[in-house]
Amino acid sequence: MAKERIRIVLCGDNGVGKSSLIACLVKDQFIPNLQDTLPSVTIPRDFSDSPYSPQNTILIDTTNSDLVLLKKELKNADVIWLVYSDHESYERIALYWMMMFRSLGVNLPVILCKNKCDTTSRAIPETANADEDRDTTVEDDEFIPILKAFKEVETCIKCSAKNKLNVNQAFYLCQRAITHPLAPLFDARIGELKPLAISTLKRVFLLCDKDQDGYLNNDEIYALQKKCFGKTMDINELKFLHKTLEDLAASNPKYSGCPLYVEGKGITKLGFLVLNKWYAENGRHETTWGILRAYHYTDSLSISDKVLYPKVDIADTASVELSPMGYRFLVDLFLAYDKDNDGVLNEQELQMLFKTTQGAPKLWSETCFPYSTVVNSQGFITLQGWLAQWSMTTLIDYKTTTEYLVYLGFEKDARLALHVTRPRRQRRRNGVYYRAAVTDRKVFNCYVLGNAHSGKSSLLESFLGRQFSEAYSPSIRPKIAVNSLELKGGKQYYLILQELGEQEPAILENKSKLKEYDVLCLTYDSSDPESFSYLVELIHKYQHLQTLPVVFVALKADLDKQQQRCYIQPDDFTEQLMLEHPLHTSCVWPSSLNELFIKLTEVALEPAKNTPNLTPEVVEDRSKDYWQAALVTGSLVGFVSIFAFTLSKIIRSVRSTPST
């Protein structure tokens, strides 16, 4: 996820060696007597050994003599390389430079560089080690106050362009401030990981903890290393991690009673956080970013929208379903969190499953999950219901599916979990347009329409295998039910039944909205003489419904059938529309219900069978032509046979007559 280009602006008092640092970096040697200000230099990726470096890095040299240009460059910068070389220029870091950056509103990472360390005056050292100790003390005295006073300063380093000391390292630190910023991860003022970084790393831990035992064992650490850095980890590196955590636990009393690493089990969640904190404190936060980048996190510690919502080309009237890979992932996920192996996810298991997300999808709460699909007697979702719910989600809003697949740990491109169907085709027969048969769809959407009290809600409940209830509750909000069906030949399909509630008129008036459904289920109460007239008025009011596949259903067929108080009876009306008579079914007749649901699915597969006013396709009877052809052929063969026989008889007669 390297950036294409970053701009590094070098600032500092005149004479501190900014131009010399740039020249040393580019030429790999010290060049004396340079001009005051160098033109901008573009360094390609190949120059740097860092695998995280951007495509191009532009170095901008500046001078104090042109403040207008300096301020312009600062506002266009990505990172500031601030240089000083002596006590006077050091004093101006806090008093002038940092104050100027803040006055300009420039909130950029600053890399503080002490240059000309080859000329720093020192007392005569007794030993080389004493010399190094003095250098360290001087650096601490200078760097620590700046780091504490200004959060913009990410790190400090001493350099020498003359001796080529740490020049490349300083350049890398500038790059790293952009590619692997410390600020989102670590609060240097209090020495702790930031809350958002902690929650992000906890999510990564949960995804890596495949067996969900609360520890990252050796195999899980190896898998994490391979995923994030593309290489394996040897046993010595792993032992170093364990030893580091043991030392951190031993040296910090606040970790007493909270193990960071348990022998034989692995690294705990707290240990994982402490390890990443240690990386940040020791300037190794690119390791943490390597982990976060592998899980698609951006600099703001949010997952990239391009990953959550990848672009999917969907033609008009096409639909989106789960692919076999998507179903396989969801099955494995269900089985992994079904800890008691009872075939359902209870509330605790479901909560754990969604712990790496923001909770169950909003669409699910809007559809009264889990009661929108198949649950057991305790209200816990079954595997059948789990897959049906995701099938519905993908058809209605595939972006929710791709988002949650990423959050739940689908490690490939989320588009591989989707299947985009072919667009519906329109055909014409005798001037009537109808939808052609479909062959590549497995999920179908059905709107259930009908008058109040006709039994729509009970039909949806029965579809999910629930007991019939006499209690009546008017449907104000839309209701939805989704379940799987198996048709002849063992093919499995998913059917979504939607009751529209008070939104019914608005949806029926919206012709584009009706493109989303595959079949209409028009219901009436066969025991209520006032019920069927509602459907007749509906068909006449919304004429465009006559161009769509429909199935008429007479519900409550277990009760006494009533003559409908309508100018036309149901059988006559369906005949007038050139449709089959209404199916008579009841929520207390399971076999009739199954017949209805299969019928709805079959109509969705072959809409022509139930499109109003569509005359049946004429299949020409060619048997008569066959027999006529056979008769002609037989006669011809007979005639030829007779002719041949007669001709041969004449020839024999001529040959037997003596010549004169």
| CA pair distance 262, 336, nearest whole angstrom | 24
| CA pair distance 58, 39, nearest whole angstrom | 10
| CA pair distance 632, 629, nearest whole angstrom | 5
**596 or 633, which is more confident?**
596
CATH 1.10.238.10 fits 311-357+383-423, yes or no: yes
| CA pair distance 106, 76, nearest whole angstrom | 9
Binned at pLDDT 50, 70 and 90, residue 620 comes out as very low
pLDDT tens column, 415-472 = 999 999 999 898 988 888 888 999 999 999 999 999 988 999 999 999 999 887 776 6
Which amino acid belongs to residue 566? C
What H or E segment, with its residue span, contains residue 554?
strand 550-555
Residue-by-residue DSSP string for 71-124: HHHHHT-SEEEEEE-SHHHHHHIIIIIHHHHHHTT----EEEEE--GGG---PP
Q: What pairing do the DSSP bridges indicate for beta strands 153-158 and 186-187?
A: unpaired
Is there a contact between 139 and 8 (Cβ–Cβ < 8 Å)? Answer: no
Binned at pLDDT 50, 70 and 90, residue 123 comes out as very low
Helix (H, G, I), strand (E, B) or coil at 627: helix
Binned at pLDDT 50, 70 and 90, residue 137 comes out as very low
Supply the pLDDT for residue 204: 97
pLDDT at 409 exceeding the cut of 50:
yes
Encode 460-499 in three state secondary structure: HHHHCCCCCCCCCCCCCCCEEEEEEEECCCCCEEEEEEEE
Supply the pLDDT for residue 421: 96
Domain boundaries, the chain: 5-121+135-179, 192-302, 311-357+383-423, 429-609, 620-652
Q: What pairing do the DSSP bridges indicate for beta strands 492-499 and 479-486?
A: antiparallel
Is there a contact between 178 and 109 (Cβ–Cβ < 8 Å)? Answer: yes
CATH topology match: 5-121+135-179 vs 311-357+383-423? no
Residue among 111, 132, 118, 125 at smallest CA distance from 165 = 118
Calculate ∠ Cα 77-180-12, nearest 5°.
35
Residue among 639, 586, 574, 645 at smallest CA distance from 610 = 574
Residue among 399, 438, 484, 457 at smallest CA distance from 604 = 438
pLDDT tens column, 266-319 = 999 999 999 999 999 888 888 999 999 999 999 899 999 999 999 999 998 899
pLDDT at 125 exceeding the cut of 60:
no
Is there a contact between 6 and 175 (Cβ–Cβ < 8 Å)? Answer: yes
Supply the pLDDT for residue 633: 63
Which amino acid belongs to residue 603? V
Supply the pLDDT for residue 473: 67
Burial label, 634 (beta-carbon count in 10 A; 0-12, 13-18, 19+): exposed
Binned at pLDDT 50, 70 and 90, residue 641 comes out as low
Supply the pLDDT for residue 3: 62
Q: Which CATH number fits domain 429-609: 3.90.1310.10, 1.10.357.10, 3.40.50.300, 2.40.40.20?
A: 3.40.50.300
Q: Which two tokens stand for residue 651?
A: 């020839």
| CA pair distance 405, 329, nearest whole angstrom | 9
pLDDT tens column, 308-342 = 999 999 998 899 999 999 999 999 999 999 999 99
Supply the pLDDT for residue 183: 86
Is there a contact between 92 and 42 (Cβ–Cβ < 8 Å)? Answer: no
**81 or 48, which is more confident?**
81
Residue-by-residue DSSP string for 289-330: HHHHHHTTB-TTSSB-HHHHS------TT--EEE-HHHHHHH
Length of the chain: 660
Supply the pLDDT for residue 128: 39
- Lookup result for tokens 């399909």: 493
Helix (H, G, I), strand (E, B) or coil at 140: helix
Torsion of CA 187, 191, 194, 199, to 10 degrees: 160
Buried-exposed string 548-576: b where 16+ CB fall within 10 A, e elsewhere: bbbbbbbbbbeeeeeebebeeebeebbee
Supply the pLDDT for residue 284: 86
Highest mean pLDDT among 63-67, 132-136, 184-188, 552-556: 552-556
pLDDT at 413 exceeding the cut of 70:
yes
**186 or 619, which is more confident?**
186
Residue among 77, 203, 208, 202 at smallest CA distance from 152 = 77
Tell me the mean pLDDT in the region 573-601: 93
- Architecture category of domain 5-121+135-179 in CATH: 3-Layer(aba) Sandwich (3.40)
Torsion of CA 484, 487, 491, 493, to 10 degrees: -30
Tell me the mean pLDDT in the region 129-137: 43
Q: Within 10 A of 184 (CB to CB), how many other CB atoms are there?
A: 18
pLDDT at 46 exceeding the cut of 70:
no
CATH class, 192-302 region: mainly alpha
Q: Within 10 A of 38 (CB to CB), how many other CB atoms are there?
A: 18
